[in-house]
Amino acid sequence: MGNVTIEREGAVAVLRLARAPVNALELEFAREFETALLELTPAQGVGAIVLAGSGGCFSAGLDLKRVPFYSFEQQREMVATANRILAWLYGCPLPVVAAVTGHAIAGGLIFVLACDYRVGSGAPCKIGLTEAQVGIPVPAVAMEVLRAEVAPHVARVLALRARNIGPQAALAFGVLDELQPPDRVLPVAIERAHEMAAMPVQGYAKIKRQLRSEALARIEEILAGGTDPMLRSWVTEGAGEAAAALLRGAK
């Protein structure tokens, strides 16, 4: 799996997003990501998971050079796979810690929000939800995670202003839980994962389920019924041109 790597630090599995240059998500990457997650189980000796980026970037979200131009079938598969990935992360009975090594934009930020604890870099980086800028609405599971994990006014500002913020603002908004120097983000995330893995496994899983029960129930209903409207119509008209303009720095 060239876009995803798994490293072990004792009972902690470090799943690293590794699609250069900015870990942007497209179909092949999404398929590999999902496959890698399914390998991380207590049966494999995994007690906690760290989700990390690479190359000074966590993830810039969707690959705007490719995804806006997908066929209907590709769009549908992309939405369905992204929904399953987020549902798995958010409902995982094991502790999941995000090592936000740099930029976390759009879908990349939603992956961060799906984690149980989030360690970010204090160095300048971009954090935000920019979907509105390119006309790509948020899939239903991602929206459930956003609504559940940040205060309503934070969700409103992130989603509707659609501009990036810095790490200090992300900390103040509750998007990140702590900031570290860039070279300490991953080691501290692994340390936090070890701390959380030391707690009784079944008790942790039950409390996490209690905490997220309402959102998880809605997520499970979305997946079981295939009711995400984005499965029928996702990328809006003009998204390709808007994405190209954004990549050129015109927005």
Q: Which residues pair with 7 in a beta bridge?
A: 14
| pLDDT tens readout for residues 148-182 | 999 999 999 999 999 999 999 999 999 999 999 99
Q: Which residues pair with 165 in a beta bridge?
A: 127
Domains in the chain, CATH or no CATH each: 4-183 (3.90.226.10)
Residue 63 to residue 84: CA distance in whole angstroms: 18
Residue 20 has pLDDT above 80, yes or no: yes
pLDDT of residue 238: 85
Work out the pLDDT band at 241, boundaries 50, 70, 90: confident
Q: Determine what percent of the chain is predicted with pLDDT higher than 70.
A: 98
At 6, is the secondary structure helix, strand, or coil?
strand
Mean pLDDT on 112-140: 96
Work out the pLDDT band at 246, boundaries 50, 70, 90: confident
The Cα angle at residue 127 between residues 175 and 152, in degrees rounded to 5: 45
What residues have CB less than 8 Å from 169, skipping those under 6 apart? 127
| pLDDT tens readout for residues 39-78 | 999 999 999 999 999 888 999 999 999 999 999 999 999 9
In this structure, are residues 27 and 63 in contact, taking their beta carbons and an 8 Å threshold? Answer: no
Residue 194 has pLDDT above 90, yes or no: yes
Selection from 1, 112, 136, 126 nearest residue 63 by Cα: 136
What residues have CB less than 8 Å from 2, skipping those under 6 apart? 18, 19, 32
pLDDT of residue 1: 63
Mean of the per-residue pLDDT values for the chain? 95
pLDDT of residue 125: 97
In this structure, are residues 97 and 116 in contact, taking their beta carbons and an 8 Å threshold? Answer: yes
